[in-house]
Amino acid sequence: MTGPLQDLRVLDCTLALAGPYASLILADLGADVIKIEPPNSADMRLVASEAIEKKSSGSDESAAEDLGPYKGENGKFMVTNRNKRGMAIDLKSDAGKEVFFRLLDTADILVQNFRPGVMERLGLSWEDLRKKKPGLIYCTVTGFGEGSPYGKLGGLDLIAQGMSSLMTLTGLPDSNEPIKTGTPITDMGTGMYGVIGILAALRERDRTGKGQHVEATLLDTPISWLTWRAAEYWESGDIPEPQGSGGGTYRSFLCSDDRWVNIAATSQKLFTVACDVIERPDLLEDERFAVIKSRIKNNKALTGEFQKEFLRRPSDEWIEALKKVGVPVGPINTIADILDDDPHTKVREMVVEVDHPIVGKMKTLGVPVKLSETPGSVDRAAPTLGQHTREILEELNYTEQEIQSMMDSESVRVDN
């Protein structure tokens, strides 16, 4: 691996999405991330994969053949664990724990997102490990964090979206149903905050030589994102309603081809030229829409007026017309639109290919942060279970006899 973090080693004791997403970012930026998994459990490798469920049933020969492009592997696991090396060791066994501690001596960072109490029971908590390695950066990604009265509850993206009020801000104003975002946004955001904390802690370690405990939680993350909605509530005392796709002329509009476009005619100048494009100069003389303050107050009426006009023409014509006069505008893409055909995705290398030992060539997402001198990269697919165990044990100077003994006792798993 190359990249700005290539001299760092990360121990990844994570599952699901939030924790793996944090270590994924570090791996993409060049860190040597070693994913540690139990040798006799596939855990998240078996979750949420229709092809794997067919393979596991084993009752239908045609189903065994119909394993999809991932050939029975879990695509979700592979997308969030690429660029990592995989090591399968039993942290409950004495031999496995000895391996872990030898590995710890070579590591800079540990990321874990097990339920509260798991790492403590294993003797691998922050308090345990800081004594063995004072310079360790220990990142814990949890649902609620230390001191929270909710600390013993299961931390899940859906629960955090609801508790943070995010689900009352998402959806349509005339619907009573709370709506979550279409991707697990608090999981990924918490992983990102974890990385920000890790990089800050590394900077402090550069100065002092001391490591520290970094916490990022699924509930703190979306609370911190309330920003403008929080300001509106504190300013007016009114609870913000669901935002729909926006309001006034900062929102989506349905066009005659049944496709939607987003526009952002937010300033007085942009509103003026947008009214000209839709051939409604009369809106500029309407006192309800004359200035920004009045447009905000009457945003629903303004939306209605614009929507009537957008139904007159297809989406591509509106996009082209608004682009010409400088109004920010864009289509509402499907996931196929953005991943398969979009020129931005191609030129920015946001979809790339890697070689997986079982799947072969497969697509994964690219690195979103571009560095001019030490760019990150996607160099390897997610590991199979125990794929790099032998390689890492040899780096730790274990002999072949010792490796075989640990394999025989199932303290480690080696996937050759």
First to last CA, the chain: 21
Contact in structure between 364 and 349 (CB atoms under 8 Å): no
The single-letter code of the amino acid at 90 is D
Both 18 and 135 in one domain: the answer is: yes
Q: Is-contact 19 141, C-beta < 8 A?
A: yes
Q: Note whether residue 3 is domain-resident.
A: no
Contact (Cβ atoms closer than 8 angstroms) between residue 83 and residue 32: no
245 falls within a domain: no
Q: Identify whether 255 is part of a domain.
A: yes
Q: How far apart are CA 264 and CA 43, in angstroms?
A: 44
Q: What tokens appear for 88 in the block?
A: 């399968």
Q: Are residues 194 and 313 in the same domain?
A: no
* Confidence (pTM): 0.92
Verify that 126 and 219 share a domain, yes or no: yes
360 and 290, same domain (yes or no): no
**Helices 400-408, 94-104: inter-axial angle, 10-degree rounding:** 140
93 and 141: one domain? yes
- Count of domains observed in the chain: 2
Task: CATH number of the domain at 290, please.
Answer: 3.30.1540.10
162 and 217 part of one domain: yes
Tell me: do 146 and 56 sit in the same domain.
Answer: yes
Q: Report the CATH number at residue 150.
A: 3.40.50.10540
Domain closes at, from 300, 333, 366: 333
Statement to judge: residues 212 and 117 lie in one domain: yes
User: Would you say residue 262 lies in a domain?
Assistant: yes
Amino acid 67: pLDDT: 67
> pLDDT tens digits, the chain, 416 residues: what are they?
689 999 999 999 999 999 999 999 999 999 999 999 999 865 556 655 554 455 555 545 444 455 678 887 889 999 999 999 999 999 999 999 999 999 999 999 999 999 888 999 999 999 999 999 999 999 999 999 999 999 878 789 999 999 999 999 999 988 999 999 999 999 999 999 999 999 999 999 999 999 999 999 999 999 999 999 999 999 999 999 999 999 999 999 999 999 999 999 999 999 999 999 999 999 999 999 999 999 999 999 999 999 999 999 999 999 999 999 999 999 999 999 999 989 999 999 999 999 999 999 999 999 999 999 999 999 999 999 999 999 999 999 999 999 999 999 999 999 87
Catalytic site residues?
A: 187
380 lies in a domain? yes
Task: Report how far apart, in Å, the C-alpha atoms of 79 and of each of 72, 366, 408 are.
Answer: 14, 10, 32
Identify the domain containing residue 291 by its residue range: 250-333
**Residue 70's pLDDT is what?**
84
Q: Does a structural domain hold residue 234?
A: no
For residues 157 and 297, give the distance between their C-alpha atoms in angstroms, rounded to a whole number. 34
Q: How far apart are CA 324 and CA 129, in angstroms?
A: 60
- Of 309, 333, 357, which residue is a domain's last? 333
Question: Could you tell me if 133 and 166 lie in one domain?
Answer: yes
Q: Point out which residues pair with 137 in neighbouring strands.
A: 109, 212
For residue 239, is it within any domain? no
Asked if residue 375 and residue 266 are part of one domain, the reply reads no
Tell whether 294 and 321 lie within a shared domain.
yes
Same domain, 47 and 187: yes
